[in-house]
Amino acid sequence: MDTARQGVCEPLETGRNHKQIEQMKTFKTRHQLFLSEELSKRLAQRARVTGKAKSDILVEALDAWFNRREGSQNLEALEVRASGIERRLDALSRRQGIFWEAFARMLRHQLILASTMPRPDDAGLAAAARHFQNFIDEMADRLAGKEAPPSDDPAIDKLRKLH
């Protein structure tokens, strides 16, 4: 397409005042375009069916083509966002696995204590407080992304394989 000239498209005087004509002025660049006979027929038919000018249809088609071509940049941006979402989902999955592991440990511990032991004395309560603090420290490390310490418990190993 060659740029032939730049000008102002003005409507014909049809009884409108000058102010209305000023508002309708648009700046456009003229291009010369050669179409195959088939494309020319299709363009003319589309213009008749829609009631639009051929140049308006061509402008819309070019705009759609450019937007589609620039869509690859949008696709790259979406891929970056999808990668971020995937990382967050992985972290969420890890945290969910940690939760179930912690829940299973606490449940088993509570059931064992409740069913086999009398109420603990002060030494037992102090030991329980230390165990609880160790548990909280481990969970904080795990939530921060640190690897789990090795376990000799097959039930814990089974849960870890799930996440």
Model confidence at 150, pLDDT cuts 50, 70, 90, reads confident
* Residue 5 pLDDT: 46
pLDDT tens, position by position, 26-75: 778 888 889 999 999 999 999 999 999 999 999 998 888 877 766 666 77
H helix intervals, 25-153: 37-50, 54-69, 71-116, 122-143
Mean pLDDT of the chain: 82
User: Which is more confident, 115 or 20?
Assistant: 115
- The pTM score is 0.36
How far, in Å, CA of 91 to CA of 85, rounded? 10
The answer to whether the beta carbons of residues 6 and 29 sit under 8 Å apart is: yes
How far, in Å, CA of 24 to CA of 14, rounded? 13
